[in-house]
Structure formats: C-alpha cells, structure tokens
Chain A
Amino acid sequence: MDTSGGGGHKKGPGVKKGKKLSTRVDLTPMVDLGFLLITFFIFTTTMSQPTAMRLYLPKDVKNPDEQNKVKNSAVITLMLAKQDKIYYYEGDDPSKLQQTDFKKVRDIVVDKKKRTDPKDFVVILKPSVDATYKNTVNILDEMTIDGVKRYAMVDISPVEYNFIKLTEVANGIK
C-alpha cells in the first residue's frame, strides 16, 4: 500500500496535470485508538449482575402444640462452625456428631435424603456464632442445589455448641 500519495511519471514539458492524491488513509492510529478504548471498556464493564436469593422466615410459634413435629429418624442437623467446618448428626443426639466440610456435605445430605421418606425429610441448619455469613448463604444454597424441600434455620443450643467446642479442641482447631 502506498500512502505517500500520487507521485509518478514524468510528463512531457508543458503538460500540466494535477497531482493524483491517493484516497487511502493510514488507519493504524485509528486502530490503536479503537483497541485502547476497547481495553478500557472491558476493564470497567461489569457483566454479571448480582442476583438475589429469596428467603422466607418462619413465624415464631410460642405454643408447643402448634409447632411442626418432625420424626427423629428423618432429621439431619447441620451445624456450621469455625474454619468452614460442618458438624452434623442424625436424629436428636448431638453427642454423635461427625465432622465434614462444604465439599462433602452434598453427599451426606443426598445420602440421607435417599434413605428417608421424602415427606418426612427435614434438614435443620444451625449456624454457630463462629460461622461466617458466607457459610450461612452457602448452606442455604446447598439446600436449593440438593432439592431439599423442607429445611429450617434454627439457633444453636448451648449443648450442641459445647459438643462442637469439645470436638474442635480434640482436633486442635483454635
């Protein structure tokens, strides 16, 4: 590509001809500028919009007769604790708690779900004071992922918290 414009052959004397200028423009600076702006917009753009997870809170029921009854055998309780650890137990005996984490909890929930009558199956979530907000949201999300229809978020009882503390000490988690 010749961008230096016209130029050319010698004409005979006396022949006057206007210089033929090329209509081609050097586009390199324009491309440079274009890509510069693209980079700018790529860096400033926010593609993924934040999403919202809906949560519905249960009403506090004072009267024990009105509370939902669940079968002990159909319940699994997940307790969230320090360092992204989850302690879980089935039924109503917190002394039998076992330790797991967020990677393995799915198998445990799915396994329990398979062993239980779907209309009785309940997961109880108990975030302790050491659990982070992220843990809490992740475990709620896990319920959606595993298709758990009935789950409840309940405050942890001192007895359960004690058991977690003991296990943590035994495992050397500060």
Chain B
Amino acid sequence: MGRAKLPRKSTNIDMTAMCDVAFLLLSFFILATKFKPPEALSVVTPSSVSTKVAPEKNVVLITIDKDGKVYLSVSDANMPEKKAMIEEINTSKNIGLSEQEKNNFVRIPNAYIGAPFSQLKSYLDRTPEQLMKVVKPGIPAVDSTNNEMVDWFKAAADAFTGKKMDIVVKGDDASKYPALQGVIIALKKNDLMKFQVVTSPIPAPVGSELYNLQQKTGTKSSEQQ
C-alpha cells in the first residue's frame, strides 16, 4: 500500500454567495420592470436621436398601422376630455350614440377609435373583448375630401381647452407617407402646429454634427429649437 491517498474533497459548493447575487438581480429587475400594457395594435416605431421621453398624460395618440390605417385614442387619465370629445362628435355628426356606447369609449383603457363616423355606432357597440378581435377599418384620413381626422382634432382641441394637449403620432415603419400627410393636413386645418412623433431612441452617429455638439456641451439633448 504505497499509494498516496488523495484526500477526498467535497463537490458541494457554498451557495450562499450565489444566492445573494441571484436575489439582488431579481429585486433589481422586479423594481425596474414596467409591464407593457396589452396593445391592441402592434406598431414598430422608427428610431431617432431624440432624447425626450414620450409624454403619457394629456395625450391624443394617433396610431398609424402598417397598412396605413389611422386610429385615435386618448390617454386613460383624461376621462372627462374623452367624454367631451365623444359628446361633441355625437352631436355634430348626428350619430345617435347611446350612453352605453359612449361609455364604451370613455371607460375602456386604450380604447381605439378605428372606424369612420358612419360605422362608429356599431363599432362602439361591441365589448372590449370583441373590439380586440374585430378587423378595424380605421379613420378615413388619406382622402382629402373626406378627412375625418379634421373633426376628431377639432373635438380634441375643444375638449382640452385650457389644458396642455400633446398630439402624439405613432406610426409603423412600413406605413406609407400619405397616411401621415393626411394627419398633418388635418392638424393644420385645426391650427394645431405642434405634434410629436414616437420613436425608439438611438445614439447620435459618431462624427456627425449633432454628435460633436453633444460632446462639446456634455448634454444628451438633441433639441435644437
């Protein structure tokens, strides 16, 4: 028995440290996470060097999907304005919505208006679950003789009188320019000269003028105006 015996080492490791790290990371992600609200419309936004965070309150959101259909929604925090908008449209366009149908628009979070005035009554007649599934025709905006966005913007501007209103356009990469053009025309007709475009952030390209400016001033701001 001249063989040297190696001491048998345990294969168990102390897990405490690893456990600590795991839970530290876990708590970070729990706190940092912000669940995406279930979106009825999936839109891939283009990227820009803008660093301003998109507003969330007092927002009139215009969504343009990949087929160029236009939808309108109002941020959930603004129920009175929503109510005022639908009332005004109801009266001016003689749609004859019932209380229930109006409430459907006001109460449902992320309620998208995605139908022309002629179909608005049957559109709002549905429950939220049904609305999710149904194929939405979109608000007519491309045709210059029948741009219903003009009326919607008018109603929105009236409803938000005395308050700051942010018009936010969220368009899909693949949608064509005429849809955006229709929205811009409708905005101009209502003298709403300011709007914002939702984008996903990218850094300024290295070597460009903006990049140099940011390096010089040490700010990340890309707002020049």
Task: Show the binding face of A for B, using Cβ within 8 Å.
Answer: 1-3, 26-28, 30-31, 34-35, 37-38, 41-42, 44-60, 80, 106, 110, 127-138, 140-141, 144-147, 149, 155
- One of B28-36, B100-108, B122-130, B156-164 at the interface: B28-36
- CB-defined contacts of B198 to chain A, threshold 8 Å: 50-52
Residue of A26, A51, A60, A127 contacting most chain B CB atoms (<10 Å): A51
Within the complex, what minimum Cβ distance (angstroms) separates B16 from chain A? 6
- CB-defined contacts of A44 to chain B, threshold 8 Å: 33, 35
Contact A54 B210 (CB under 8 A): no
Question: In this assembly, does B26 line the interface, its C-beta being within 8 Å of a C-beta of chain A?
Answer: yes
Complex Cα gap A48–B36 (Å)? 12
Contact B173 A30 (CB under 8 A): no
Within the complex, what minimum Cβ distance (angstroms) separates A107 from chain B? 11
Task: Show the binding face of B for A, using Cβ within 8 Å.
Answer: 10, 12-16, 18-19, 22-23, 25-26, 29-30, 32-36, 45-55, 64, 168, 171-181, 184, 187-188, 193-201, 204-205, 208-211, 213, 222-225
Asked if A147 meets B26 with Cβ closer than 8 Å, knowing A50-B198, A54-B52, the reply is no
- CB-defined contacts of B35 to chain A, threshold 8 Å: 44
Asked if A53 meets B194 with Cβ closer than 8 Å, knowing A60-B188, A128-B177, the reply is no
Contact A133 B26 (CB under 8 A): no
Complex Cα gap A124–B193 (Å)? 18
Contact B188 A51 (CB under 8 A): no
Contact B177 A131 (CB under 8 A): yes
- CB-defined contacts of A59 to chain B, threshold 8 Å: 188, 193
Within the complex, what minimum Cβ distance (angstroms) separates A53 from chain B? 4
Complex Cα gap A63–B126 (Å)? 48
Complex Cα gap A30–B200 (Å)? 37
Query: Can you add 8 more A-B contacts, CB < 8 Å, to A42-B29, A133-B173, A149-B224?
Result: A34-B19, A54-B195, A57-B184, A57-B188, A59-B193, A133-B46, A133-B177, A147-B209
Contact B180 A49 (CB under 8 A): no
Within the complex, what minimum Cβ distance (angstroms) separates B204 from chain A? 6
- CB-defined contacts of B25 to chain A, threshold 8 Å: 34, 38
From A27, A35, A51, A135, contact of B16 by CB (8 A) = A27
Contact B197 A134 (CB under 8 A): no
Complex Cα gap A45–B26 (Å)? 12
- CB-defined contacts of B204 to chain A, threshold 8 Å: 145
- CB-defined contacts of A134 to chain B, threshold 8 Å: 46, 173-174
Complex Cα gap A57–B195 (Å)? 8
Complex Cα gap A119–B131 (Å)? 53
Contact B29 A49 (CB under 8 A): no
Contact A131 B225 (CB under 8 A): no
A-B contact pairs, 13 of them (CB 8 A): A1-B14, A34-B23, A38-B25, A41-B26, A46-B34, A54-B50, A110-B209, A131-B177, A133-B171, A141-B49, A145-B204, A145-B208, A145-B209
- CB-defined contacts of A30 to chain B, threshold 8 Å: 15, 19
From B16, B50, B181, contact of A141 by CB (8 A) = B50
- CB-defined contacts of A37 to chain B, threshold 8 Å: 26
- CB-defined contacts of B50 to chain A, threshold 8 Å: 51-54, 141, 144
- CB-defined contacts of B174 to chain A, threshold 8 Å: 132-134
